[in-house]
Homo-oligomer: A and B are copies of this chain.
Amino acid sequence: MNNITMCVPTKILFGKGQLQNLPEPMAAYGKKVLFVYGGGSIKRTGLYDQVTAMLQNNGFTFWELPGVQPNPKVDLVRKGIAMCREHGIEVVLAVGGGSCFDCGKAIAAGVNYDGDVWDFAVGKANPGSVKVLPVVVVTTIAATGSEMDTSAVISNPETNEKLGFSTADMRPRIAVLDPENLFTLPRNQTAAGVTDIISHVFEYYFNNDPTAYYQNRHCEAMLKTAFHYGHIAYDEPENYNARANLLLTSVWALTGVIGKGFDIMWSSHMIEHEVSAYYDITHGVGLAVITIPWLRYCAQFESTMPKFREYAVNVWGVDPEGKTDKQLAEIGIEKTAEYLKYMDMPSRFSQIEGVEITDEHFGEMADHIMNTFGAAMNNCFVPLNRANIVEILNNCL
């Protein structure tokens, strides 16, 4: 096992009504707040009113930055940074899902940086070199785990790029995780969130290091939980325990507890980020399409068989008796595909509504991955080069 250096100081306020416990710890960071959120959904559900009442009743002064979209755009981040500078904002409060949090984190990182925040994304500047404003988050979806991780992924439509950057202080200081705030989530978003959780855990679980035994078994615990409760939340939006278990799993998945101690470069996320940079699709929807062809691509090799066997047996409870590893791999992948299909997730790009994804940009996408990450792509579960990436993308058509 490799060395691990980590620290997860996020204060977790998990459960019913935890918003009421936010003012005291948040006030420790300051009273001038940038309130970042998305569209009208938190207004429809009443969460907007709860948050603004909480702020008003506890002596916070706040400025609103609505309009965060899925795949949050760098322009809105720039606008938020300008607001923070203008009003002397002390705390960024992001309410919503991963896109809101990523937008809020990027704003927090950019406020005290002299250049343009996009410099962080393209590696021209390091967010660790500036003072990052404290970030506080209130969750409305179980998906990214951005609530307790150090990264932000933002998009630049001008360059068709969707890129991430991170530093320890971008990790939210406080995360309000109330499963009841997920009750009103539309079914398709619940499904996309579940897909994102599963995909995150896959990115770690499909590794080549059996010595990271605890991490591997913990990944299986997370996958079992996501698979067990994902369909329940899809079918019963107000099932508290389903929402609660998915939320806990999603946030712990990205803290490092399952992701450190072994070498792994993410695969399907890298590919999906390209597709959603070009076509602005929902992240979890893109992942739903890419995951299965990626798994099938990886399952061609003798070296990956032990992992796929483990997956089928330990996660899906498949009886290995009388089955070859190849058969077990296929059963595990097929069960995953069926699982996603039950939640009406697309299995082909052509099934994604509102866009027409063709092979037109696949070469550019693969080039962009290779140019951005280069040799790191050799640390994927199965090393990926330009040709492999194009092949996987073609298998998504």
Contacts and interface: CB of A to CB of B under 8 A. Distances in A.
Interface of A: 1-18, 21, 179, 211, 213-215, 217-218, 220-222, 224-225, 228-229, 240-241, 244-245, 248-249, 252, 257, 261
Copies in the complex: 2
B5 A13 contact: yes
A252 B215 CA distance: 11
B9 A213 contact: no
Contact of A221 (B2, B3, B218): B218
Given A211-B241, A214-B245, A221-B220, A14 B3 contact: yes
Contact of A12 (B4, B221, B252): B4
A214 B248 CA distance: 8
Nearest to A215: B248
Given A3-B18, A14-B5, A217 B221 contact: yes
Given A244-B1, A257-B257, A214 B249 contact: yes
A6 B8 CA distance: 11
A12 B1 contact: no
Nearest to A7: B11
Contacts of A217: 220-222, 224-225
A386 B181 CA distance: 44
Contacts of A14: 3-6, 261
A341 to B, nearest CB: 23
Contact of A261 (B17, B228, B248): B248
A214 B220 contact: no
A12 B6 CA distance: 5
A37 B213 CA distance: 31
B252 A257 contact: yes
12 contacts: A1-B241, A4-B14, A4-B15, A5-B11, A6-B12, A8-B9, A211-B241, A213-B225, A214-B249, A217-B222, A220-B221, A257-B257
A11, A16, A217: residue with the most chain B Cβ atoms closer than 10 Å? A217
Contacts of A3: 14-18
Nearest to A2: B15
B228 A213 contact: yes
